[in-house]
Structure formats: structure tokens, C-alpha cells
Amino acid sequence: MATVTPWEVKGNIDYDKLIQEFGVSKIDERVLKRIEKHTGELHPFLKRKIFFAHRDINFILDEYEKGNKFYLYTGRAPSGKVHIGHMVPWMFTKWLQDKFDVELYFQFPDEEKYLFKKDLSWEDSQAYLQDNMLDVIAMGFDPKKTKFLIDTRDAGLMYKEGVKVAKHITFSTAKAAFGFKDEQNLGAIFYTAMQAVPAFLPSVMKNKKIPCLIPHAIDQDPHFRVTRDVLPKLGHYKPASIQCRFLPGLAGMTTDGKMSSSAEHTAIYTTDDPKTVKNKVNKYAFSGGQATIEEHRKKGGNPDVDVAYQWLMFFEEDDERLKQIYQDYKSGKMLSGEIKAILIEKINKLLAEHQKRREKAKSQIDKFLL
Ligand code: TRP
């Protein structure tokens, strides 16, 4: 049995079942065609169903086609170092920003993980905030069209709106949506109201109704389900969303449905050096290969459970190359060590570029603050 909540993701996740449970819609061919009409091409994450679900994306496109542009909203609660799994929705958000030429509001709820994690001190959450902002800037978002919203720093603007949301959420709604028990602290119960704020704050600031599209990993959906119920009561549009599945951790999908930053050896951090990446992948990446070379040549590998192949689906953009790797690995022509070598090179290239931009980001934070 898998668990998927905003605070905990574990086990082998059945994404079709999750669509049913959460009541979201599958991204079908029609939606893909509609997106492609505007973007000219489809991001590999769409082609490969890594972004696989949505709420109300047709509303966003209807309005866009009428000339009413949307804005993007996503976020990151600082609680640890950023890993390559976190980069997945941000890569896609950057693509959407470029293709649709729209603004992005990026929330850093610097109180969230402080409230939800027993062992996280206030000082640590603030240090991670500074650190995590560098990774977000390094994604390449356009500083002219991107604004950071930091909950405690921008409280003067945000709290007032959060209160308006909170008034419309009862404790029983919060319990049902998030599974809270009576032991839960008050801040944690209130928190979802703050995550709702960026879904309409630009409309308040600009005094006009602007559609909001939220790219996010599917575990965040309960927040926005609640948000969607409340916002019309405040005179705002319901936010739309486009949702992705998780990059599995190194141990593989059956045990590591989602890469976790608290389990050092299941994650690749954005700051890992090439040698660390190589060692982690070679040592820990769950292999779909056979026990001996002879057996592998005969029976072939299983790409569907092989972490190296699964990660290449996220990070190898070339469809033809990916297909070739799939065939060669499945037929036994390509060995486990070989597919891992391809992955290592891919990740190290991605991280080398990211790390360069991350260094530069140190002097750019001010450009993104409100
Ligand atoms: N709750 C998210 C986290 O745990 C952070 C977040 C805030 C977020 N607003 C968001 C994520 C909007 C996606 C979309 O990191």
C-alpha cells in the first residue's frame, strides 16, 4: 500500500488509482493537442506522461485563447537540500514560462516544514530558505517575470489574504483533506490557507481576475482541492493545475516511490560532485539487470523497474536515443553497468550547468524578491 499526502509519500504508487482517489483528470490526447497548438512542440514530460494529470487546464487554455493570459504558481518549502527530483516540476514550469511568456509566482513557505517537522529548527529552515532560493534561480526563470513570495518575509501582504481563506475552512475540512489528528499543532492546521494565497494574490495586487495555473507534483493536490472550494467565495477564479508523478529514489519505485531528501543514499543533490553521483548510482541504483552477464545477455534487463532507465525517461530528452536504450537494455545487448554509465554522464552534465548558474545566483536573489 502506498501513501501519498503533502507530508508523506511512500511505497509503490499506482498513479491511475491516484487519479481516481484525488478526483483529478488525466491529460489526454485532446489536451496535449491543445497545448501543442500554442507551444509548437510537446515537452518530453508531456509526451512521456510524467505530467499526467490536471484540474481545469481547459479553462486556462480557453481564457488564453481569448487573450486573458494566466500566470504560473509553484513553490518549495525549505527543509533540506534540493535534489534532482525537485527539479522536475521546476524544469517544466520554466518551459511553460518560456512558451507562454507568462509570469511566475514562486512561493517559499518558510514556516511550513518548521511546523510539520519535529526536528527542524527555525534557524535551519531559514538557512535552507537561502540555500534553496539559489537552486530555484539556477533553473533559469526570467527575473523580469518571476517573483518570490516568502511567507514570513512577505507576511504583510500575504497574511491578510490567508486569513480570508482560513475563515472558510473548518477544522473538519482540514481533517478530512489532510488526515490531521487532535495532536496536530495549530500552525500546521492553518498552513493550507497560506499555500492558497499565491493562487489569487496577483489578482488582488493588480485588481483584476487573472487565471492561475499551478504545476506541481501530485502530492500537493489536497491543498489545491481545498483552495478551489474557497476561492470563488472570495470572488476569485478557482486555480487550475497540471500535475506530475515523482522521480523515484535510487532504491527503485517499489520502495522509493519518491526521492527523499532525508535519506542521503536514495537522493542525488543538486550540489553533488561528479564522483559522488557516479558512486551513488553505481552503488545504490536499483538494477533491472540479471545476476550474471551470461544470464543478462540471454534474458535481457527490465527497464520498467531499472532506476537508471526510469531516470533517463526524465532526463534524456532525445526520444530516439531513449528508445534505442530501451531496446538494447531489454534485449540484453546493453549491460546494467552500461546503462548506469549513460545515466551518470547525463546527470553530471545537467548538474555541472546547474552548479554554474547556482554560483551566479548568489548575487541575484534581490532581483526576485517582491
Ligand atoms: N508545500 C510545498 C512543499 O512541501 C511547497 C509549495 C508551496 C508548493 N506552494 C506550492 C508546491 C505550490 C507546489 C505548488 O514543498
- Which pLDDT tens digit goes with each residue over 150-207? 999 999 999 999 999 999 999 999 999 999 999 999 999 999 999 999 999 999 999 9
Task: Indicate if 235 and 289 belong to the same structural domain.
Answer: no
Task: Report pLDDT digits (tens) over 107-166.
Answer: 999 999 999 999 999 999 999 999 999 999 999 999 999 999 999 999 999 999 999 999
Pocket test of ligand 1: the residue of 104, 107, 158 to mutate, having most ligand atoms within 8 Å of its CB, is 107
Residue 345's CATH number: 1.10.240.10
Determine how many CB atoms are found less than 10 A away from the CB of residue 155.
13
Task: Report pLDDT digits (tens) over 215-233.
Answer: 999 999 999 999 999 999 9
Determine how β-strand 104-108 pairs with β-strand 71-75. Answer: parallel
Which of 15, 137, 131 is CA-nearest to residue 79?
Answer: 131
Task: Take atom 6 of ligand 1 and give the residue whose Cα is closest.
Answer: 75
Residue at 256 is within a domain = no
Q: How many angstroms is it from 178 CA to the middle of ligand 1? A: 15
Task: Indicate if 50 and 104 belong to the same structural domain.
Answer: yes
In this prediction, residue 259 carries a pLDDT of 84
Write out residues with Cβ below 6 Å of ligand 1. 6, 73-77, 107, 109, 112, 195, 214, 216, 220
Structural domain tally of the chain? 2
The CA-CA-CA angle for residues 5, 7, 12, to 5°, reads 50
Task: Indicate if 295 and 229 belong to the same structural domain.
Answer: no
Does residue 252 carry a pLDDT above 90? Answer: no
Task: Take atom 1 of ligand 1 and give the residue whose Cα is closest.
Answer: 77
Task: Indicate if 171 and 227 belong to the same structural domain.
Answer: yes
Residue at 266 is within a domain = no
Task: Indicate if 77 and 46 belong to the same structural domain.
Answer: yes
Residue at 68 is within a domain = yes
Task: Indicate if 103 and 217 belong to the same structural domain.
Answer: yes
Buried b (16+ CB within 10 A) or exposed e, 328-347: bbbebebbbebbbbbbbebb
Residue at 172 is within a domain = yes
Residue at 255 is within a domain = no
Residue at 103 is within a domain = yes
Residue at 158 is within a domain = yes
For the segment 86-101, the average pLDDT, to the nearest whole number, is: 98
Task: Indicate if 226 and 310 belong to the same structural domain.
Answer: no
Task: Indicate if 109 and 159 belong to the same structural domain.
Answer: yes
Q: How far apart are CA 278 and CA 348, in angstroms?
A: 9
Task: Report pLDDT digits (tens) over 276-334.
Answer: 999 999 999 999 999 999 999 999 999 999 999 999 999 999 999 999 999 999 999 99
Which three-class secondary structure state does DSSP give residue 146? Answer: strand
Which domain does 310 fall in, by range?
272-358
Task: Indicate if 79 and 134 belong to the same structural domain.
Answer: yes
In this prediction, residue 257 carries a pLDDT of 75
Task: Indicate if 133 and 214 belong to the same structural domain.
Answer: yes
Task: Indicate if 93 and 14 belong to the same structural domain.
Answer: yes
Instruction: Determine the atom of ligand 1 nearest the C-alpha atom of 214.
Output: 14
DSSP 205: H
Q: Quick check: 148 and 108 in contact, CB under 8 A?
A: yes
End-of-domain residue from the set 191, 215, 250: 250
In this prediction, residue 118 carries a pLDDT of 94
Q: How many angstroms is it from 263 CA to the middle of ligand 1? A: 20
Question: pTM higher than 0.85 for the full model?
Answer: yes
Q: How far apart are CA 82 and CA 89, in angstroms?
A: 13
Q: How far apart are CA 40 and CA 303, in angstroms?
A: 30
What percentage of the chain reaches a pLDDT higher than 70?
99
| CA dihedral (190, 149, 242, 17) positive or negative | negative
Task: Indicate if 238 and 293 belong to the same structural domain.
Answer: no
Residue 128's CATH number: 3.40.50.620
In this prediction, residue 184 carries a pLDDT of 96
Residue at 37 is within a domain = yes
Determine how β-strand 51-55 pairs with β-strand 240-244. Answer: antiparallel
